[in-house]
């Protein structure tokens, strides 16, 4: 990646696992990486040497006045405590999803960041995907008519965390998109979960709806032999399909609904400018810090997602089950 001018904002990355490395590498390309931190000396020093930045501890990073903001990319159970430490240190922050494993901790982060006047984002990077931005714009323009149905599919084989199931691991991606599109999350629905290879839910299916709005079906699996990423939005006039497995020219497909006079309308592919969602998200984070503006994908949205999941699936460690739910009012 050709380096960009990150201005005077310098970020530290806390966590040198897979996603911490992704963030650090991307920030280095944006000329905004100051240092990396991790409990383990070996991984952080190797990453620092690779990217030409400093290796340090979390405490030293948070105490460094030259570091304006932090990216927190730790195992889910560790993130909330470090996020609160970063806020107390006066650092803007981007916390990978899920930013906590309970809604109360997420609410603490949101309130603390708001009280401190800090830019605070959750790592819902699909909000910055060019295909999603184009899809949301077309829906907003009324190209699909009134929305009737939304279906999301997210499956593959990923890393297992012993404290989280597939709902906490994958469903936040789709819930963040639904909240972005509709302005809120559904209020009622049903979840079905299945254990396949672990003691927690490895497969889950959500059926939900907004009062007076569309029905949504979300399917997530962490034991699929094939990686699948799709969002289908159907309205009274037309339908849109975002298929991440397709090449960029065919990734977003728009089709008018069939009619008696045109039973097989010709689908059209929406032009997209290829871009990496993580780089777009981090650019947005930097611009929000520099401009003092409210970011897209803020921690309040992350809090909403976690509250929804907790209301929907109150015991993360419970055996797979099926139950109706109703989301409590904020």
pLDDT of residue 261: 86
**Single pTM value for the model:** 0.90
Q: Cis omega before residue 98 (within 30°)?
A: yes
pLDDT in tens, 130-168: 999 999 999 999 999 999 999 999 999 866 666 678 998
Long-range contacts of range 32-36, CB-CB < 8 Å, 24 or more positions apart?
Answer: 32/6, 32/7, 32/282, 32/286, 34/10, 34/64, 34/66, 34/67, 35/61, 35/64, 35/67, 36/12
CATH of domain 11-125+278-308: 3.40.50.720
CB 218 within 8 A of CB 171: yes
Residues of the chain with pLDDT under 50: 1-2, 6, 316-330
- Which ranges in the chain are annotated with CATH 3.40.50.720? 11-125+278-308
**Is 126-275 assigned to CATH 2.40.160.40?**
no
pLDDT of residue 327: 35
Using CB atoms within 10 A of its CB, is residue 273 exposed (0-12), middle (13-18) or buried (19+)? exposed
pLDDT in tens, 228-287: 999 999 999 999 999 999 999 999 999 999 988 888 889 999 999 999 999 999 999 999
- Which ranges in the chain are annotated with CATH 3.30.360.10? 126-275
| Residue 298: strand, helix, or coil | strand
């Amino acid at each position: 990646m050709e380096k960009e001018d990150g201005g005077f904002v310098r970020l530290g990355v806390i966590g040198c696992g897979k996603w911490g490395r992704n963030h650090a590498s991307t920030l280095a390309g944006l000329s905004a990486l100051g240092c990396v931190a991790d409990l383990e000396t070996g991984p952080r020093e190797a990453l620092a040497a690779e990217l030409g930045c400093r290796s340090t501890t979390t405490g030293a990073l948070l105490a460094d006045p030259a570091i304006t903001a932090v990216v927190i990319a730790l195992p889910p159970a560790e993130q909330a405590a470090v996020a609160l430490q970063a806020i107390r240190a006066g650092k803007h922050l981007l916390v990978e999803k899920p930013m906590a494993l309970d809604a109360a901790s997420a609410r603490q982060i949101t309130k603390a960041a708001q009280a401190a006047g800090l830019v605070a984002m959750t790592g819902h990077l699909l909000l910055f995907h060019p295909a999603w931005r184009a899809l949301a714009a077309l829906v907003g323009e009324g190209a699909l008519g009134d929305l009737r149905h939304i279906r999301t599919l997210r499956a593959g084989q990923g890393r297992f965390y012993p404290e989280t199931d597939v709902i906490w691991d994958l469903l936040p991606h789709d819930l963040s998109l639904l909240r972005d599109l509709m302005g809120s999350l559904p209020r009622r629905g049903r979840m079905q979960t299945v254990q396949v290879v672990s003691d927690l839910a490895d497969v889950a299916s959500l059926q939900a709806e907004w009062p007076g709005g569309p029905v949504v079906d979300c399917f997530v699996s962490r034991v699929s032999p094939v990686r699948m990423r799709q969002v289908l939005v159907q309205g009274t006039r037309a339908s849109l399909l975002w298929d991440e497995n397709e090449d960029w020219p065919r990734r977003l497909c728009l089709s008018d609904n069939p009619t008696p006079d045109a039973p097989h309308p010709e689908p059209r592919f929406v032009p997209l400018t290829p871009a990496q969602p993580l780089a777009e998200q981090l650019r947005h984070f930097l611009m929000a810090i520099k401009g003092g503006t409210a970011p897209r994908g803020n921690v309040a949205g992350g809090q909403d997602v976690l509250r929804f999941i907790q209301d929907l699936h109150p015991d993360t460690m419970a055996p797979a089950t099926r139950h109706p739910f109703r989301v409590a009012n904020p």
